[in-house]
């Protein structure tokens, strides 16, 4: 957080901010973390959301990247909307290379997602591992990204990541509030991915 200058004010020691976001990442609510540190709940939320910018600094090389998409529910479980979270993980380091949140599972979303993976993997383009989703093969070939369809095996890495994410989302019933904006949800998910990267030690 200090190296990337995420916070302009230095009244709170970075160790306190780090401890607070790790407590929230581990499953505590914003309110409980705020009570623990005797600060406003919005302060903890702000600290957490600022971490989303760390995902912009993920850089390669990434030799093999495993991509997958999973469904995230927004609104009530009985009548909510389903959004798509695209995730790509480095098969060697388990680092999240890219995460993109979109309302529809479309070729254009996939292309943007893969373009950013390639950009973050410079100087060499990675080999993309994916499932049978036709959008991966179509868009990877359009942008000149080497790719391979794999069943099981290395693909279990990203599937495990998705399961852990949904386990964390169980803290608020595995759904985002009905009035949450797309940018808010993507910021939360990118913050989660950023803390995942930090706690993996890479």
Cα–Cα dist 154/111, whole Å: 22
Task: Give the pairing of strands 64-74 and 127-130.
Answer: parallel
The gap from C-alpha 38 to its chain's centroid, in whole angstroms, comes to 29
Q: What is the DSSP string of 30-86?
A: HHHHHHHHTS-HHHHHHHHHHGGGGGGG-----SEEEEEEEEEEES-TTT-EEEEEE
Q: Is the domain 61-199 a CATH 3.90.1150.10 member?
A: no
Q: What is the pLDDT of residue 173?
A: 54
Domain ranges for the chain:
14-56, 61-199
Q: Of residues 172 and 127, which shows the higher confidence score?
A: 127
pLDDT bin (cut points 50, 70, 90) of residue 183 is confident
Q: Nearest-5° angle of CA 127, CA 131, CA 134? A: 95
H helix or E strand, kind and range, residue 175:
strand 175-176
Residue 117 has phi, psi (to 5 degrees) of: -60, -45
pLDDT bin (cut points 50, 70, 90) of residue 182 is confident
CA dist 86 → 22, 53, 74, 103, 159 (Å): 23, 17, 16, 11, 11
> pLDDT digits over 133-162, tens only?
899 999 999 999 999 998 888 888 899 999
Contact 93, 202 (CB under 8 A): yes
Q: What is the pLDDT of residue 11?
A: 78
Q: Determine what percent of the chain is predicted with pLDDT higher than 70.
A: 90
Is the pLDDT reported for residue 201 higher than 60? no
Q: What is the pLDDT of residue 175?
A: 59
pLDDT bin (cut points 50, 70, 90) of residue 115 is very high
Helix (H, G, I), strand (E, B) or coil at 177: coil
> pLDDT digits over 14-48, tens only?
889 999 999 999 989 999 999 999 999 999 999 99
């Amino acid at each position: 957080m200090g190296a990337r200058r995420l916070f302009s004010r230095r009244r709170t020691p970075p160790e306190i901010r780090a401890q607070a976001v790790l407590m929230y990442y581990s499953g505590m609510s914003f309110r409980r973390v705020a009570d623990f540190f005797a600060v406003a709940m919005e302060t903890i939320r702000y600290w957490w959301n600022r971490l989303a910018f760390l995902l912009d600094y993920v850089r390669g090389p990434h030799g093999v990247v495993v991509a997958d998409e999973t469904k995230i529910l927004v609104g009530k479980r009985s009548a909510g909307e389903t959004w798509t979270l695209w995730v790509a993980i480095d098969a060697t380091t388990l680092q999240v290379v890219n995460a993109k949140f979109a309302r529809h599972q479309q070729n254009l979303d996939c292309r943007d997602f893969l373009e950013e993976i390639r950009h973050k993997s410079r100087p060499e383009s990675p080999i993309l591992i994916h499932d049978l989703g036709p959008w991966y093969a179509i868009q990877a070939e359009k942008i000149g990204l080497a790719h391979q369809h794999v069943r099981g095996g290395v693909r279990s890495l990203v599937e495990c990541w998705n399961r852990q994410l949904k386990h964390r989302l169980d803290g608020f019933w595995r759904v985002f509030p009905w009035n949450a904006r797309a940018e808010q949800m993507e910021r939360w998910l990118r913050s989660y991915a950023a803390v995942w990267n930090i706690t993996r030690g890479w």
